[in-house]
Amino acid sequence: MDDRPAECEIDLLVIHSISLPPGEFGGEWIDDLFHNRLDAAAHPYFEEIKSLKVSCHILIRRDGEVIQYVPFNRRAWHAGESSYCGRTCCNDFSIGIEVEGSDDQPFTDPQYRTLGRVTKEIMALYPKINRERITSHAAIAPQRKTDPGPMFDWERYRSLLPEAD
C-alpha cells in the first residue's frame, strides 16, 4: 500500500477472489500474503508467489467476516497491470475487495450479504462508484486473471445494491 496519486478520485470497485493455497479456505495464509510475510516453504504454491507484493482494501471470509488491510483513501496493490474504460493503473482509482473463494466453488450466503452491505457503504462514501462502476478483476486484467470466477453470482450480488438513479 501507498498513497494514491494527487487529485486521483476513487471511482471504481473491483471484486476479486482468493484462496491460499488455491482451493483451500481458512487459516492465516491470506493474512500473511497481504502483510508480505508469507512463508514460501510452507506450501509448494507459495514458492511461486513469494515475490508478490500485494494488498487489498478488504477481505470477506467464507463466514462473512470482514478484514480491512488498507484504508480506502490509500492505494492497495490489488489490480496489477490493468485497464478500465481506457484508463490504466486501476490501483490508482479503485477499491479492491477480495472474497475468499475460487473459480470452482460457490460463494457463501454470508459472503453475499456482507459484500452487499460493504458495497453500499463504499457507494455512500464514494458516490462516483455506482452499479456501472463495479467490475471484476478478470474484466480489468483479462489476459492474466479469471476472478472472481464463474461461481460468483453477479445477479445475486447486484440484487443487493441500490438501483441506479
Active site residues: 98
Alpha-carbon span 30 to 162, nearest angstrom: 30
Which parts of the chain fold into alpha helices (H)? 29-34, 44-49, 109-125, 137-140, 154-159
* CB neighbour class for 130 (10 Å; exposed up to 12, middle 13-18, buried from 19): middle
Strands 94-100 and 12-18: parallel
